[in-house]
Amino acid sequence: MTRHTQRPANDGESDEQQSGAEDGFDSLLPGLRRRDFMKAGAAVGGLSGLAGCTSLLSDEGDGTVSAAPSHSVPPGEVDEYYAFLGGGQSGDVRVVGLPSMRELIRIPVFQRDSGRGYGHDDESREMLEEAGGYTWGDTHHPRISQTDGDYDGRFAYVNDKANGRMARIDLTYFETDAIVDIPNQQGTHGSCAQLPDTDLIFGVGEFRTPIPNDGTGDLHDPDKYGAVLAAIDPESMNVEWEVLVDGNMDNGDGSKEGRYFFTTGYNSEGAVTEKGMTRSDRDNVKAFDIPRIEAAVEAGDYERINEVPVVDGRKDSPLNQGDDPVVRYIPTPKSPHGISVTPDNEYAIASGKLDPTASVIQIDKIDEVDDPADAIVGQPKLGLGPLHTAYDGRGHAYTSLFIDSQVVKWDIEEAVEADAGSESPVIEKIDVHYNPGHLIASESYTEDPAGDWLISLNKLSKDRFLPVGPQHPENDQLIYIGDDEAGMEHVKDSPAHAEPHDASICHRSKLDPAKTYDPDDLDLDYTDEGEETMERVDDDRVEIEMYSTRNKYGFQEMTVTEGDTIEMQVTNIETTSDMLHSVAIPDHDVHMRVAPQETRKVTFTADEPGVYWIYCAHFCSALHLEMRSRLIVEPEE
């Protein structure tokens, strides 16, 4: 289920950020403290100054210009950051440049994509087939691999909530290179890593099912259903172990030093209806003790189900009695959704979703307290529908408020000082349009967030763009968070194809994408000009190995017989970056892309006699239209 091997990326040099000012807008919720209103007012005044109407807002502003650096990236210049956005039900990962918010490319993961030739050549098609053969996935949480608590630019990992899978994206080539279909798990939701060195990837099981779910157990008794956390080896993509828990799980994040992995969960009731799932006022955050679980696996304390060692992490499991349980259940209100660990590894913060608070769990305290609830050291009241929390590295947290349609900025230490339910940690709120699910700040998942940009990934755009029928684009909004005095500043709306979820933002200096393929990274042999071969290897099988270049294929014509299976392997022998060719064969459902120095193979059957013009679908030069070959399929005798 893997495509090819990979090379580590090098660190490059970062360039200076652009500065200047652009249009923008800001809005504030009534009820903010006066000093914060003044702060945010300064930003409003500055922005309107650019529009030439300072006087309108000058009573709230101080006349300074916008604190945000320019978000417009002029023609010919490039962005400072890559943002990787889970494409939701589209099944892809989008790569967006920041701060321009220009979509650079889409990386197909769980779906075929003729633009990238993905799922069309043999290798990627077989990978999709072996991973279940589904035509789509639901990608939520792309996480970039880390070394020493910082992005290393090697891989991104992303879940498929729809079909219980995890995929790996090779960031040298910006393409999916492995997919694992996770046994015993339906609805792989959260996806994250054991930090600081990405030693394990975790798939968080959301839907409770019988385990194994093969019809042998009791299908009708939800009390007998379960959900597992799956730990996956990031290199082999094998599922190493799983932990069965009570209730279901939702999102997850790892502590920065690798000891704990946290998941939120709703439906601790184990119900099967909405009413039942929201009956109790408390659900829980689960803290998985990774070394303890690995010791249990080592000691043979597991049951092997579908070839995976499954450790019992339910509340009444023998492994959870005593002082060092495999899973601690930390009660939190009410159906908590997002969870993320602060950059300094002090706290794991779970957003309340159906409760207006977030729960601040002190990681060090988890071991010390008798009652896991005592590890919660802060519970600020943030607003309605808190879903996800991001960080700027300056002690602030930013939480999306789904129901209030806002992002709230708050002070983490103040939340620890204040009484539970206090609003005093809230620094500022900004309206977004509308109903944000996720939000993400630049490098928020590392130990050292950049603290300049934040994207609010809003579920509804409503009236923000030209109407395009009943389905509107989503609205990804860019907010500058780099100036605590001026406050948050909304600078851009960006329509998005359905439907971004979580994202990771990585400085461009930490990625080193390849300019061409390295033939050594590919399994297939390189066919240079003059080395092309066409051979009948069997009564009804023809193997072709050829090259492509501007503006020809290795063979100008290929004659086969009706019913033949054809294995066509093509090397793009160009050494110039971006000089793509492809092999498009009418009426055969073939479109194989070959990038410079790439070799791919496609197998198809020539089942209708006739003449078929093979052409190159990537516009490669002035003679691109002439880049053709003929497939001649002779009728069977």
Residue numbers at the binding site for ligand RUQ (CB under 6 A)? 140-141, 189, 251, 337-338, 387-388, 437-438, 501-502
Contacts of 535 (CB under 8 A, 6+ apart): 542, 543, 544
Q: Which does 544 bind (CB under 5 to 8 A by kind): ligand RUQ, ligand CUA, none?
A: none
Q: Which amino acid is at 80?
A: E
CA–CA distance, 32 with 58 (Å, rounded to integer): 19
Give the pair of three-digit tokens for residue 78. 């490039």
Instruction: Return the number of the residue (139 or 549) whose C-beta is nearest ligand RUQ.
Output: 139
Asked whether position 613 contacts ligand CUA by CB under 6 A, the answer is no
Instruction: Return the number of the residue (264 or 572) whose C-beta is nearest ligand CUA.
Output: 572
Q: Which does 581 bind (CB under 5 to 8 A by kind): ligand RUQ, ligand CUA, none?
A: ligand CUA
CA–CA distance, 155 with 543 (Å, rounded to integer): 34
Q: Strand 533-538 relative to strand 590-594: parallel, antiparallel, unpaired?
A: unpaired
Q: Which does 616 bind (CB under 5 to 8 A by kind): ligand CUA, ligand RUQ, none?
A: ligand CUA
**With CB under 6 A as the contact rule, which of the stretches 301-309, 338-346, 393-401, 615-623 interacts with ligand CUA?**
615-623
Query: Residues in contact with ligand CUA, total (CB under 6 A)?
Result: 7
Asked whether position 619 contacts ligand CUA by CB under 6 A, the answer is yes
Give the pair of three-digit tokens for residue 439. 């939000």
As measured in angstroms, the least distance from the Cβ of 630 to ligand CUA is 16
User: CB count, 10 Å around CB of 15?
Assistant: 11
User: What DSSP assignment string belongs to 304-345?
Assistant: EETTEEEEE-STTSGGGSSSS-SEEEEEEESS---EEE-TTS
As measured in angstroms, the least distance from the Cβ of 591 to ligand CUA is 12
x/- letters, 482..521, toward ligand CUA (CB under 6 A):
----------------------------------------
Asked whether position 618 contacts ligand CUA by CB under 6 A, the answer is yes
Instruction: Return the number of the residue (71 or 337) whose C-beta is nearest ligand RUQ.
Output: 337
Instruction: Return the number of the residue (21 or 616) whose C-beta is nearest ligand CUA.
Output: 616
User: Shortest CA distance to 438 belongs to which of 368, 376, 403, 390?
Assistant: 390
Give the pair of three-digit tokens for residue 452. 């300049």
User: CB count, 10 Å around CB of 443?
Assistant: 27
Q: Strand 628-634 relative to strand 557-561: parallel, antiparallel, unpaired?
A: parallel
As measured in angstroms, the least distance from the Cβ of 75 to ligand CUA is 25
**With CB under 6 A as the contact rule, which of the stretches 68-76, 475-483, 598-606, 619-627 interacts with ligand CUA?**
619-627
Instruction: Return the number of the residue (90 or 549) whose C-beta is nearest ligand CUA.
Output: 549
Give the pair of three-digit tokens for residue 143. 């996480």
Q: Which does 69 bind (CB under 5 to 8 A by kind): ligand CUA, ligand RUQ, none?
A: none
> Residue 230 pairs with which residues in a beta bridge?
203, 242
User: Shortest CA distance to 287 belongs to which of 375, 207, 354?
Assistant: 375
Q: Collapse the DSSP code of 596 into the 3-class scheme (helix H, G, I; strand E, B; otherwise coil) and give the result.
A: coil
CA–CA distance, 594 with 601 (Å, rounded to integer): 9
Q: Are 95 and 106 within 8 A, CB to CB?
A: yes
Asked whether position 614 contacts ligand CUA by CB under 6 A, the answer is no
Which of 566, 616, 631, 633 is close enough to bind ligand CUA by CB under 6 A? Answer: 616
Instruction: Return the number of the residue (334 or 624) whose C-beta is nearest ligand CUA.
Output: 624
Q: Are 492 and 451 within 8 A, CB to CB?
A: no
As measured in angstroms, the least distance from the Cβ of 503 to ligand RUQ is 10
As measured in angstroms, the least distance from the Cβ of 572 to ligand CUA is 9
**Touching ligand CUA, residues 548-607 (CB under 6 A):** 581
- Footprint of ligand CUA on this chain (CB under 6 A)? 581, 616, 618-620, 624, 627
